[in-house]
């Protein structure tokens, strides 16, 4: 499952994307996020619980502000670099 957390407005669109199949819940991204915006959350896969990285409820609605310090270099964001499974990506597409 691909989970998109982010926003889209007149400046462009920004998403933190978690691939819950690749994510093994190691929690390295959670430790590396300078804004403490990530946590491990439980999802259900084939009736079994699985821990995966997620943006916290608190930050889901303010990603625009929370993620802005890391946004210019999406490929070098600390959370992205921390992920060995390449399960977490950030995308930023400015409005043309």
Partner 1 sequence: MSNDGSKDKVEYWRWREYRKTVSSKSWRDAKIVTAGVDVGSVSSKAIIMADGKIYSYSIMRTGSNSPDSARKVLDWAMEGTGLSLDDIKYVVGTGYGRVNVPMANKAVTEIACHAKGANYIWGPTVRTILDVGGQDIKAIRCDENGRVTSFLMNDKCAAGTGRGMEVFADLLKVPVEEIGEVSLKVDVEPDPVSCTCVVFAKTEAVGLLRKGWPKERVLAAYTRAMAVRMSKLLERVGCEKDFVVTGGQSKNVGIVTRIENIIGLKRLPMPNYEENGLDPMVAGAIGAALFAKALYEKSQAA
- Point out which residues bind partner 1 (CB under 8 A): 1-9, 13, 15, 43-44, 47, 60-64
Closer CB to partner 1, 61 or 86, in the complex: 61
Closer CB to partner 1, 3 or 81, in the complex: 3
Per-residue tokens: 92: 């930023």
Question: Least CB distance from residue 33 to partner 1, whole Å?
Answer: 18
Question: Least CB distance from residue 77 to partner 1, whole Å?
Answer: 19
Gap between the Cα atoms of 78 and 2, Å rounded? 20
Question: Least CB distance from residue 13 to partner 1, whole Å?
Answer: 7
Report the Cα 44 to chain-centroid distance in Å. 19
DSSP letter at 77 equals -
Closer CB to partner 1, 3 or 40, in the complex: 3
> How many of the other CB atoms lie within 10 Å of CB of 80?
20
Gap between the Cα atoms of 89 and 19, Å rounded? 9
């Amino acid at each position: 499952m691909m989970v998109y957390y982010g926003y889209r407005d007149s400046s462009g669109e920004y998403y933190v994307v978690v691939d819950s199949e690749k994510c093994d819940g190691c929690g390295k991204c959670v430790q590396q996020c300078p804004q403490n915006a990530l946590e491990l959350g439980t999802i259900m896969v084939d009736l079994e619980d699985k821990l995966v990285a997620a943006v916290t409820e608190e930050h889901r609605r303010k990603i625009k502000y929370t993620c802005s310090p890391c946004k210019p270099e999406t490929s070098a964001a600390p959370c992205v670099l921390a992920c060995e499974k390449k399960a977490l990506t950030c995308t930023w597409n400015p409005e043309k």
